[in-house]
Structure 1
Amino acid sequence: MRVLLSPDKFAGTLSAPEVVAAVSQGWRDVAPGDELLARPLADGGPGFLEVLAAALDGRRIPVRTVDPLGRPVAGEVFVTGDTAYVESAQACGLHLLTAAERDPRATTSYGLGLLVAAAVESGARRVVVGLGGSATNDAGAGMLAALGAAAVDGAGLVLPYGGAALTAVAGLTGAPRLRAVELVAATDVDNPLLGLHGASNVYGPQKGATKADVLLLDSALERFAQVLERDLPSCPPGLAQLPGAGAAGGLGAALLALGGRCESGIGLVSRLIELPQALAGCDLVITGEGAFDHQSLRGKVVAGVAGAARDLGLPCVVLAGRVSAGRREAAAAGVTEAYSLVEHFGDEQAALTRPAEGLRELAARLARQWSRS
């Protein structure tokens, strides 16, 4: 039996490699003779760099940066060949803030700019920025400031951190220092920057925005998008409505304005870790994430893995902290079965505090069911 293990992280509890380790142990306890292939995945959000660094030869460069409130935090750049990879969540991540600190009116992407600057200084010719899990809603204004192009008001004064301050934006001062690198935004979010499906409306409430905040932020980002189109020669027309512009609180828009392009995060990582080749010789695929819900089936890791397995006629099992996706929807996406830690333990708190134990037990159950050993 050849089993491919290709999960995403379980947000807030286990990284993708830790999920693989727990599932591997449970399976081997029952069927030690089976071959297990480990291919942990990420879609551009938290864990993006860890997954790539585990699969590829390269060097990890530590970088001192700041979190969404401007406090010092450790980050890194992963360089392989002429490409540098950066994870926005290391500087902009929602996990860096307590629930009480979440305020997209004030949070900044400045720390991501420091990471991108370090990637540029590494000598890379291409910089890939993984987008996801952000606490910011400033359309990359902070990132641009760190790169040398700060947003200013009508008097020429640099604006403070946060999306709300962009209600007063009148222009940019300076120019981005990028040394002609190619920029790629790795994301599986295709939301535009503005409107009902935009960054503020869809993701703002998850970051602490009230209904009034959402209206304020959407208006501020509209004004900033107009400034970007006017002041950055590399900015494409119609920026605010381009697919992916709304990713990570509008960081997608800033990267597009800098002449970058969007690429599927799950597609990029799958290619780099050679997922298609691993799938080709397998009998069973196991994937998973913290919450398997309707959003999982729209371009996230589980959907990518299950769809690839389906296309090859392979069964695919999902392990998750919680399962709420409809069975019919999941089956259409290529999911054969789905198992929940909450259901396994019969208790949500146990699922949160003992995820590795639960995954080992579920994997042992799967081995008894599926293995030919």
Structure 2
Amino acid sequence: MRVLVCPDKFAGTISAPGVAEAFAAGWLAEKPGDELVLRPLSDGGPGFVAVLAAALPAARRLTVPTTDPLGRPVEGEVLLDGETAYVESAQACGLHLLAEHERDPNHTTSFGLGPLVLAAVEAGAREIVVGLGGSATNDGGAGLLAALGAAPLSAAGYALPYGGAALAACESLGGVPRLREAVLVAATDVDNPLLGLSGASAVYGPQKGASREDVFTLDGALTRFAAVLQDLPTAPAGLAELPGAGAAGGLGAAVLALGGRVESGIGLVRRLTRLDDELDRAALVVTGEGSFDEQSLRGKVVAGVANAARDLGVPCVVLAGRVDAGRREAASIGVTEAHSLVEHFGSVATALTRPGDGLRELGQRLARQWSR
């Protein structure tokens, strides 16, 4: 039996390659004669560059020193494939880079993404694909713009402090972004606008440490900043309301304001990894992510894989740390069945500390159930 295993990461516990390898080890322990094809995926969040590097063997990886959401030194990567570069915002802005007590989107910054983009420009890239997801920031890309040479300024002409809250005092940008005509592409499957009840602050702010009061403060600050971004000659009309503008704490809005576009992250990864070719040859596809919930149904890795499997008539099994999506909703996107580590272990704590063991055990169980 040919089984395609193509999960996303389980955020905070195990990487996408780790998920695939653990599940495959369990399956093959039970059914060693089966063929398992491993294609770890990403929709633009953590793991984006690593997934594409495996799919593009001719591309080269360039290590770039940068900073994390609190300005501390970290290293990121640029993946160069001809005149196209791929960067991952989470390498500089990721929530996983902060301890829980450090998470505060009032002050965290997207500045660290700037050196990655600038390194891509210096390497000669004409198109820079920025994977968006898993961010600790809510600054509308203000930090990124500052790193590119267009710092947000107060009415008195002073550079504003980093973080989302300070943008309430933004009146202008102090320069022109240095992109040398390179085009930015935001790779994301988040379709949220920048502002309002479905916006970056309200939906994702609490995950990044924002209190209820912070959410109102941040949304108001982004409202002010959106008006400043709208003045850029490359900004599209109605910038704040566009799908994807709220991705990664508003980094999507900054990309759009710089004349860039939003593209489906899982769609791009599917194309570059030739996932549909593998789907066409598979008897079963197994995908997954940390939490299979309502957000998963709106276009993340699981939805992208399940939709493609459904169109080809291939059954699709979802593995997750926890499953909160209803069966009917899951079936509507092509999911045949879903299994959670929390249910498997009967404990959230064990699911978080022993994901590899649980995935191997689920692999064995599903091999007995599905293998011919």
With structure 1 as the length reference, what TM-score do the two structures score?
Answer: 0.98
Structure 1 residue 247 displacement after superposition: 0.7
SS in structure 1 of the partner of residue 106 of structure 2: coil
Taking the aligned partners of 2:229 and 2:291, their CA distance within structure 1 comes to 36
Taking the aligned partners of 1:196 and 1:295, their CA distance within structure 2 comes to 15
Residue 293 of structure 2 corresponds to residue 267 of structure 1? no
Taking the aligned partners of 1:135 and 1:186, their CA distance within structure 2 comes to 17
Structure 1 residue 338 displacement after superposition: 1.1
Taking the aligned partners of 2:203 and 2:329, their CA distance within structure 1 comes to 22
2:30 corresponds to which letter in structure 1?
Answer: V
Q: Counterpart of 2:132?
A: 131
1:2 corresponds to which letter in structure 2?
Answer: R
Q: Counterpart of 1:331?
A: 331
Taking the aligned partners of 1:209 and 1:299, their CA distance within structure 2 comes to 25
Residue 14 of structure 2 corresponds to residue 14 of structure 1? yes
The CA deviation string for residues 273-311 of structure 1, in whole angstroms up to 9 with x for no partner, is 001111111111111111111211111111111111111
Taking the aligned partners of 1:71 and 1:11, their CA distance within structure 2 comes to 22
Structure 1 residue 234 displacement after superposition: 0.9
Q: Counterpart of 1:237?
A: 237
SS in structure 2 of the partner of residue 139 of structure 1: coil
The CA deviation string for residues 122-172 of structure 1, in whole angstroms up to 9 with x for no partner, is 111110000011111110000000001111111111111011111111111
SS in structure 2 of the partner of residue 149 of structure 1: coil
Residue 238 of structure 2 corresponds to residue 224 of structure 1? no
SS in structure 2 of the partner of residue 206 of structure 1: helix
Taking the aligned partners of 2:333 and 2:148, their CA distance within structure 1 comes to 41
Q: Counterpart of 2:3?
A: 3
Q: Counterpart of 1:290?
A: 290
Taking the aligned partners of 1:336 and 1:238, their CA distance within structure 2 comes to 39
Q: Counterpart of 1:206?
A: 207
Structure 1 residue 229 displacement after superposition: 1.7
Structure 1 residue 113 displacement after superposition: 1.1
Taking the aligned partners of 1:209 and 1:283, their CA distance within structure 2 comes to 44
Residue 195 of structure 2 corresponds to residue 194 of structure 1? yes
| Matching of residues 157-168 of structure 1 within 5 Å | 157-168=158-169
Moved more, 108-117 or 213-222: 213-222
Taking the aligned partners of 2:89 and 2:70, their CA distance within structure 1 comes to 14
SS in structure 2 of the partner of residue 110 of structure 1: coil
1:364 corresponds to which letter in structure 2?
Answer: Q
Taking the aligned partners of 2:343 and 2:11, their CA distance within structure 1 comes to 18
Structure 1 residue 184 displacement after superposition: 0.3
Q: Counterpart of 2:341?
A: 341
Residue 30 of structure 2 corresponds to residue 30 of structure 1? yes
Taking the aligned partners of 1:254 and 1:69, their CA distance within structure 2 comes to 20
Taking the aligned partners of 1:179 and 1:228, their CA distance within structure 2 comes to 19
Structure 1 residue 116 displacement after superposition: 0.8
SS in structure 2 of the partner of residue 3 of structure 1: strand
- Structure 1: gaps spanning 5 or more residues: none
1:124 corresponds to which letter in structure 2?
Answer: A
Taking the aligned partners of 1:105 and 1:254, their CA distance within structure 2 comes to 18
2:197 corresponds to which letter in structure 1?
Answer: L
The CA deviation string for residues 224-271 of structure 1, in whole angstroms up to 9 with x for no partner, is 1111222x2111121111111111111000000000000000100011
Taking the aligned partners of 2:159 and 2:335, their CA distance within structure 1 comes to 50
Taking the aligned partners of 1:167 and 1:135, their CA distance within structure 2 comes to 19
State the 4+ residue runs in structure 1 displaced beyond 4 angstroms: none
Structure 1 residue 35 displacement after superposition: 1.4
Q: Counterpart of 1:215?
A: 216
Q: Counterpart of 2:90?
A: 89
Taking the aligned partners of 1:159 and 1:6, their CA distance within structure 2 comes to 43
Structure 1 residue 197 displacement after superposition: 1.0
1:275 corresponds to which letter in structure 2?
Answer: L
Identity within the alignment, % = 73
Taking the aligned partners of 1:225 and 1:340, their CA distance within structure 2 comes to 40
SS in structure 1 of the partner of residue 4 of structure 2: strand
With structure 2 as the length reference, what TM-score do the two structures score?
Answer: 0.98
Structure 1 residue 80 displacement after superposition: 1.3
1:260 corresponds to which letter in structure 2?
Answer: G
Taking the aligned partners of 1:319 and 1:215, their CA distance within structure 2 comes to 35
- Structure 2: gaps spanning 5 or more residues: none
SS in structure 1 of the partner of residue 112 of structure 2: helix
Taking the aligned partners of 2:170 and 2:358, their CA distance within structure 1 comes to 50
Structure 1 residue 208 displacement after superposition: 1.3
| Matching of residues 46-85 of structure 1 within 5 Å | 46-57=46-57, 58-85=59-86
1:302 corresponds to which letter in structure 2?
Answer: V
Taking the aligned partners of 1:62 and 1:104, their CA distance within structure 2 comes to 27
SS in structure 1 of the partner of residue 138 of structure 2: coil
Taking the aligned partners of 2:48 and 2:364, their CA distance within structure 1 comes to 28
